[in-house]
């Protein structure tokens, strides 16, 4: 790759090519001919060199970035600031080839020969660059000027892409602006683009050690999808859709591509591990986790990708969410009436204030909203059934979970009631006998 001398090296090689081409063309009839790389304002009246001469002058008037190579290697550093790569400085060089003559038409003759030489040298070959700069394969580096010998260290011949020489033809206005900016008179001119000079920093970089073993694993995208959610109270009862779901019931997910490398089921913050699942490609069954709080939940199949020769996994695909309601359930016979007292002692059959204690078959969180509903069972003929609703007493003393809650009930008529509890929108189920609701019940009496 080239270094900071690349710009001057390109000019030196082009100058050498033009000089050799003019010598080979045998222009002795014109007299002495010189090839230079100087600013145009150095020649003519007021310049450093006012002596008329036959001259081809190659002047670098502009340097622009090469967009094709500019982003091939981006600068990169570690988190500690250590450089890990050196970006290329990719440059396009714009040259002005102008001709000067001592006699009429000499400048035009020289410009024609110069353009022919560059036309026949569209690419600066590696051997030609080494020869011009006095590097390897040069016949005798001592015959080159001292500046050329120094440019031999430019490494221009060894860069990836060789230098290409392309003419371009701006309109008269652009050419006039160019010569006006040079503050000198217009001369016979041809413009050329030399691309690309690739300059690379020699700053030390830190590289990673080579890879000793390649472990590739290409998983197949399965795109799991849950289409139906069924439930059953046990392994024997056939699962059905829309049946009540309580703790201890089994959930059955039906869909497509449910099995993965490692398959889990996510319900909120609770994960059912693969070891607790019964699964195949289209069916997946498991028991409702005991620590899951009652309420509305969403079940989701989660795939993990197992790394090759390792017990570690990485996240994979996830299915859609399938919603279900986990209903509250009571421990057997654990709806109890406590501290019952008449509202009016003079009316023995009147209204009652009491506390109803309910023991659940699962935990209830302290932030869950719990509501007790009482509906009269078998009201006296011709009378409407009475119904009441009461909220649970809040948990105190920093208690996070509880299985037993108390409900203060006030002004309840003495009768037998059906008992329901609603927790975060999920309601407990009533028992049925002969097509009618039959329990659980609570007898309110003094």
The domain segmentation of the chain, as residue ranges, is 6-200, 225-326, 330-444
Q: Does residue 84 carry a pLDDT above 90?
A: no
Query: Which secondary structure element, helix H or strand E, spans residue 12, and what is its range?
Result: helix 6-25
Task: Give the pLDDT score at 137.
Answer: 47
User: Which CATH class for the 225-326 domain?
Assistant: mainly beta
Tell me whether the CATH fold assigned to 225-326 matches the one assigned to 330-444: yes
Inter-residue contact 115 to 25 (CB < 8 Å): no
Please report which confidence band the pLDDT of residue 139 belongs to, taking 50, 70 and 90 as the band edges. very low
Strands 189-200 and 163-168: antiparallel
* 85 vs 395: CA distance, rounded Å: 62
Inter-residue contact 114 to 19 (CB < 8 Å): no
In this structure, which CATH number among 2.60.40, 3.30.70, 1.10.150, 2.40.160 belongs to the domain 330-444? 2.60.40
Inter-residue contact 27 to 8 (CB < 8 Å): no
The pLDDT tens digits of the residues spanning 317-327 come to 899 999 999 99
Q: Terminus-to-terminus CA distance in the chain, angstroms?
A: 102
Cis peptide upstream of residue 196 (ω within 30 degrees of 0): yes
The pLDDT tens digits of the residues spanning 398-442 come to 899 999 999 999 999 999 999 999 999 899 999 889 889 988 999
Task: Give the pLDDT score at 180.
Answer: 86
Single pTM value for the model:
0.53
Task: Give the pLDDT score at 99.
Answer: 92
Of the listed ranges 11-20, 176-185, 280-289, 341-350, the least confidently predicted one is: 176-185
Structure tokens, 122: 């569209």
Mean pLDDT of the chain: 86
Q: Does residue 135 carry a pLDDT above 50?
A: yes
Task: Give the pLDDT score at 94.
Answer: 95
Give the number of other CB atoms < 10 A from CB of residue 423: 23
User: What string of DSSP letters covers 281-349?
Assistant: SSEEEEEPPTTPPSEEEEEEEEEEEEPTTSS-EEEEEE---EEEEE---EEEEEEEEEEEEESSTT-TT
Please report which confidence band the pLDDT of residue 47 belongs to, taking 50, 70 and 90 as the band edges. low
Q: Of the spans 46-60, 154-168, 363-377, which averages the highest pLDDT?
A: 363-377
């Amino acid at each position: 790759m080239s270094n900071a001398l690349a710009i001057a090296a390109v000019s030196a090689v082009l100058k050498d090519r033009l000089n050799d081409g003019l010598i080979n063309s045998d222009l002795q009839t014109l007299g002495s001919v010189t090839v230079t790389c100087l600013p145009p304002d150095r020649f003519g009246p007021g310049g450093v060199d006012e002596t008329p001469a036959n001259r081809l002058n190659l002047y670098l008037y502009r340097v622009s970035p090469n967009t094709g190579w500019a982003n091939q290697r981006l600068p990169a550093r570690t988190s500690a600031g250590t450089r890990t790569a050196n970006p290329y400085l990719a440059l396009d060089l714009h040259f002005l080839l102008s001709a000067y003559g001592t006699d009429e038409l000499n400048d035009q003759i020289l410009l024609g020969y110069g353009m022919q030489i560059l036309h026949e040298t569209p690419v600066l070959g590696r051997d030609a660059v080494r020869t011009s700069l006095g590097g390897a394969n040069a016949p005798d580096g001592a015959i080159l000027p001292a500046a050329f010998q120094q440019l031999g260290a430019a490494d221009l011949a060894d860069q990836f892409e060789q230098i290409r020489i392309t003419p371009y033809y701006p309109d008269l206005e652009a050419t006039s602006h160019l010569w006006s900016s040079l503050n000198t008179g217009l001369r016979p001119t041809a413009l050329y683009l030399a691309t690309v000079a690739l300059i690379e920093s020699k700053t030390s970089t830190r590289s990673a050690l080579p890879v000793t073993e390649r472990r590739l694993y290409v998983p197949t995208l399965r795109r799991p999808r849950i289409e139906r959610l069924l439930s059953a109270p046990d392994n024997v009862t056939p699962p059905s859709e829309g049946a009540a779901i309580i703790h201890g019931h089994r959930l059955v997910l039906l869909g497509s591509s449910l099995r993965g490398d490692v398959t889990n089921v996510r319900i909120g913050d609770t994960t059912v591990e693969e070891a607790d699942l019964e699964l195949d490609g289209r069916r997946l069954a498991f028991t409702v986790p005991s620590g899951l709080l009652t309420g509305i939940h969403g079940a989701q199949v989660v795939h993990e990708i197992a790394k090759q020769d390792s017990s570690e996994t990485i996240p994979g695909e996830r299915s859609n969410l399938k919603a279900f309601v986990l209903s509250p359930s009571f421990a057997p016979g654990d709806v109890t009436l406590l501290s019952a007292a008449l509202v009016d002692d003079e009316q023995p059959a009147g209204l009652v204030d009491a506390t109803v204690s309910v023991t659940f078959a699962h935990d209830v969180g302290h932030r869950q909203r719990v509501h007790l509903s009482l509906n009269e069972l078998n009201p006296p003929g011709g009378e409407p059934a009475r119904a009441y609703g009461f909220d649970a007493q809040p948990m105190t003393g920093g208690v996070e979970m509880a299985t037993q809650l108390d409900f203060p009930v006030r002004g309840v008529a003495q009768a037998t009631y059906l008992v329901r509890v609603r927790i975060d929108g999920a309601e407990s189920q009533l028992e049925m006998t002969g097509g009618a609701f039959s329990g659980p019940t609570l007898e309110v009496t003094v």
